């Protein structure tokens, strides 16, 4: 990992820790069992921003991001970044961004596995993936739309 990447990761870790402290006890602070969730999400968003040139929101987001990380010509986008991204998840009865992107977390650079329209996710099976986690519609990573089609839809190659 190069020096510039380490600087960026330190900056993202600081923002994530500040957001976590600020959101402690709020509904937007429901984590899926891992204290690094906010940080991993921010790294996924950073890498997506670098790939697509869409602007990243690095503000503290006092009220959370409402499930929208980016706004593009194709619609709003939420990047879902996990250590073990077997499925793309879309919480039941919660408004989602128009487009959901699944990413595999890595500090060396996240891998974008695929995407789906949130409107298509609502017809997918439902499961609770963690004892205290929410119910989610899910779609297997290997069944998602290929990233090149999303890049074309938002005007990049």
pLDDT digits (tens, 9 = 90+) for 7-61: 999 999 999 888 888 767 655 445 444 458 889 999 999 999 999 999 999 987 6
Q: Find out whether 89 and 138 touch, Cβ atoms under 8 Å.
A: yes
Is the four-CA dihedral 84, 143, 42, 2 of positive or negative sign?
positive
Mind listing the domains of the chain with CATH numbers?
A: 3-153 (3.40.600)
Q: State how far the Cα of 120 lies from the Cα of 2, in Å rounded to an integer.
A: 39
How many percent of the chain have pLDDT more than 70? 89
pLDDT digits (tens, 9 = 90+) for 107-155: 999 999 999 999 999 999 999 998 888 999 999 999 999 999 999 999 9
């Amino acid at each position: 990992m190069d020096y510039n990447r380490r600087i960026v990761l330190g900056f993202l870790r600081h923002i994530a820790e500040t957001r976590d402290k600020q959101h402690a006890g709020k509904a937007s602070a429901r984590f899926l069992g891992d204290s690094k969730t906010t940080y991993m999400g921010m790294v996924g968003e950073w890498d997506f921003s670098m790939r697509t040139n869409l602007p990243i929101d690095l503000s503290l987001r006092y009220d959370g991001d409402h499930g929208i990380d980016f706004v593009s010509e194709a619609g709003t986008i939420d990047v879902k970044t996990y250590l073990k991204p077997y499925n793309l998840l879309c919480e039941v009865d919660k408004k989602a961004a128009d487009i959901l992107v699944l990413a595999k977390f890595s500090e060396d650079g996240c891998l974008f596995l695929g995407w789906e329209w949130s409107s298509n996710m609502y017809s997918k099976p439902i499961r609770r993936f963690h004892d205290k986690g929410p119910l989610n519609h899910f779609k297997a990573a290997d069944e998602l739309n290929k990233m090149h089609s999303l890049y074309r839809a938002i005007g990049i190659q």
